[in-house]
Structure 1
Amino acid sequence: MRVHVGSDHAGLELKDHLLAWLGEHGYEPVDHGPFRYDALDDYPVFCLRAAEAVAAERAEGRDSLGVVVGGSGNGEQIAANKVRGVRCALAWSEETARLARQHNDATVVSVGGRLHPLEDMTRFVEVFLAEPFSGDERHVRRIEQLSTYETGGGLPPLPDSARPAAEQA
């Protein structure tokens, strides 16, 4: 499986570690930068490229995933989620990494390089990459609602349970 990786200066050390770890574990890592430390670099430059590569390859039917890394992972997640067709989840535990794939069919995971020990962050990525999407109907339905909205199809209809009683009659 090809894994696209992007970061910023705060995630550079973890990104470099993950690239080596991915290669050692049979993945095909693709480095979208940065390639040297620059305290003033901007995470969108690298994270958008990693996410775009994932979206393009998945559109071709390839089984690619992505990892974006920053200080907290928040901005990197936001950047990746701006790419049409990408669902990026911020992982801060093994369970959030697992559920991102299992329930949300996330295609990119974001981790905060300043928030966890290196071993934990590596494990979050490992769990994310290994976990398949469950394919459960409720999760498929929810992802379809998001995809429809993303492509201009509008908001999903409100269920009766979300309407005031006076409107249900």
Structure 2
Amino acid sequence: MRVHIGSDHAGLELKDHLVAWLAEQGYEPVDHGPFVYDALDDYPVFCLRAGEGVAADRAQGLDSLGVVIGGSGNGEQMAANKVPGIRAALVWSEQTAALAREHNDAQVVSVGGRMHTIEEMTRFVEVFLTTPFTHDERHVRRIGLMADYERTHELPPLPESARPGSAGVGDA
């Protein structure tokens, strides 16, 4: 499996560690940078490329996922999520890493380099990469709603139970 990786300066140490770890585990890492420490770097430059790499691979039918890393991982996740078709999830535990794949079929994981140890973050990435999507109908349906909105920019209809005046809405 190919794994596209991008980070900011705060994630550089973890990125370099993960590139080596991924290769040791039999993955094909694709490093989108940065390659030197620059406290003023602009993380979208690297994270957008990681997301684009995953999207391009998947469009060609290749097995590919991505990892983006920052100080908190928030901005990096937001950048990767701007790539059409990419679902990037910020994870902070093994459980959130697994659920990102099982329920959301996320293709990119975002971790905060200042939030956890290298060992913890490596484990989060490992869980993410090895957890399959469940393909449960409810999860497929929800992903479809997001994909449709991304394509059309039209909001999905509200379910009957969420419409004003519906029984049960606002009842205590």
Q: Which bin holds the TM-score, normalised by the shorter protein?
A: over 0.9
Shift, 1:165, TM fit: 2.3
Q: 3-state DSSP class of the match of 1:151?
A: helix
Map 1:1-169 to 2 at 5 A: 1-152=1-152, 154-165=154-165
Aligned to 2:80, the other structure's residue is in SS state helix
The amino acid across from 2:136 in the alignment is D
Dislocated runs of 4+, deviation >2 Å: none
Which amino acid in 2 is paired with 1:38? D
Whether the 8 Å CA contact 2:160–2:166 is kept in 1: the answer is no
2:30 partner SS: strand
Q: Deviation at 1:152?
A: 1.3
Identity of aligned residues (%): 75
Shift of 1:157: 1.0
Distance 2:153 2:69 in 1: 31
TM-score with structure 1 length normalisation? Answer: 0.97
How many angstroms apart in 2 are the aligned matches of 1:164 and 1:153?
23
- Distance apart, 1:63 and its partner CA: 1.0
The total of aligned residue pairs comes to 167
The letter for the 1-side match of 2:138 is R
Name the CA distance, whole Å, in 2 between partners of 1:99 and 1:42.
29
| Normalised TM-score (structure 2) | 0.95
Matched residue SS, 2:152: coil
Q: Distance in 1 between matches of 2:43 and 2:95?
A: 26
Q: Matched residue of 2:62: which SS?
A: coil
